[in-house]
Amino acid sequence: MTSLAPELVEPHLTGGFGRPYLYRETCESTQALLDASQPEGAVAVCEEQTGGRGRLGRRWDAPSGSAILSSTLLRPPDGRRIAELALVGGVAAANAVEAALALTAQIKWPNDVLVNRRKVAGVLAEARDGVVVLGIGINVNQTRDELPADAHPSAASLRTTDGVVRERAPVLARLLAELERAYAKWIEGGIDALYVDIGPRDFLRQRRVTLNGLSGIGVGIDRAGRFEVDVAGERHVVESGEVTYER
């Protein structure tokens, strides 16, 4: 398959995100290629990461040339809650995945994008030196054998979902356009302004969940991007955490 080299991606770009476009065949992590010296909307992409990272210190692995491994530099206004950007990235990834697959994508708070209950994309928001590096990984062309076998939720790629091996460049360009749109809405009106993209996709709503030592029924993502749980009739609002759930 073709690469995500600049000459193949730039013709698909429709907005400001992706300019400049930093591209490497191999890197430790695209998260490490961006810093505060770059402008908002700068994007780093590589074909293979030797130290790709997920949330909570986990690894994020994909065979060379199979996935979208991207990081985008953001400069959110002072005082905004950085954790909300994981949902902003989730909305962008869900929209890009839906456009590629023509299937509904769901968002598992705070940062997973699922199709048919399987995770196809993940988001990692890291703040440093007054900027945020927003990493988004989308599993595109991995075969079943190339996906982690022991992940929760279990992993899928666009290919294992619909059998299609696809060009990654248009999917990446769509992701960046969706991210620019979602981020602009968030700047204007916070998660509330994106709620139309989040509420109907909320995977954990009405599921039996456990997070931060609380077990109950997921009420859902609220209009501030936090997660509400009903524990024996009492509502708890959680700002961050890792959710486990029952089917």
Question: Mask 162-201, x = binds ligand BTN (CB under 6 A)?
Answer: ----------------------------------------
Nearer to ligand BTN, 62 or 216 (CB): 62
What residues numbered 33-62 form the site for ligand BTN, per CB under 6 A? 49, 52-55, 58, 60
Q: Which residue is nearest to ligand BTN (CB)?
A: 122
**C-alpha–C-alpha distance, residues 122 and 10, integer Å:** 23
Looking at residue 145, what DSSP letter applies?
A: G
At its nearest, how many Å lie between ligand BTN and the CB of residue 180? 17
What residues numbered 102-161 form the site for ligand BTN, per CB under 6 A? 111-112, 122-124, 135-137
Measured in whole angstroms, the distance separating CA 210 from the mean position of its chain's CA atoms is 22
Nearer to ligand BTN, 72 or 95 (CB): 72
227 in helix, strand or coil? strand
- Listed in sequence order, the residues at least 6 apart from 8 whose beta carbon sits closer than 8 Å to its beta carbon are 2, 169
Q: Is residue 4 within 8 Å of 26, Cβ to Cβ?
A: no
Closest-CA residue to 165 (of 142, 137, 136): 142
Amino acid at 7: E
Nearer to ligand BTN, 125 or 216 (CB): 125
Residues at the site binding ligand BTN, with contacts judged by CB under 6 A: 29-31, 49, 52-55, 58, 60, 69-71, 111-112, 122-124, 135-137
